[in-house]
Amino acid sequence: MDIKISGVNAESGLELCDGSEEIYLRSLRLYVSNMPSYLEKIKNVTKETLHDYAINVHGVKSISEYIGAEETKKTARQLELMAKSGDLTGVLAANEAFIENAQDLVDKIRAWLEKNAAA
């Protein structure tokens, strides 16, 4: 199966799934179903919730890495490091665009699955 989704390095994701398309497709489906709840948890970050934000954005980083969503993983890592260092201003400056981009990626993956893999 030729897996071409903008924002996803399928080769990298497949490698992490020991080359199994079945496992990789399952990972893509899990990403689509789980990512919205992660994004909801990181929407309204405040000084008081910065610690929880760091934990949740770490989750986004991890599941993004597993499917080969390298740009999403990289940005999530940057946000996680900012949150851990207490840089609320930096997080607030980048968070909304990050959420929009991540949601766009979820939509692209969902559309690809519906068209190609009977989601």
pLDDT in tens, 17-69: 999 999 999 999 999 999 999 999 999 999 999 999 999 999 999 999 999 99
| Higher-scoring residue by pLDDT: 111, 2 | 111
* pLDDT at position 13: 94
What is the mean predicted confidence (pLDDT) over 91-106?
Answer: 97
Q: Apex CA 70: angle with CA 57 and CA 88, to 5°?
A: 30
Instruction: Return d(Cα 68, Cα 9) in angstroms, integer.
Output: 5
Instruction: Return d(Cα 96, Cα 113) in angstroms, integer.
Output: 26
- Domain map of the chain by residue range? 10-111
Going by pLDDT thresholds of 50, 70 and 90, the confidence category of residue 95 is very high
Instruction: Return d(Cα 105, Cα 26) in angstroms, integer.
Output: 16
1 has pLDDT over 80: no
119 has pLDDT over 70: no
* pLDDT at position 12: 94
Domain 10-111 has CATH 3.40.50.720: no
What is the mean predicted confidence (pLDDT) over 82-109?
Answer: 97
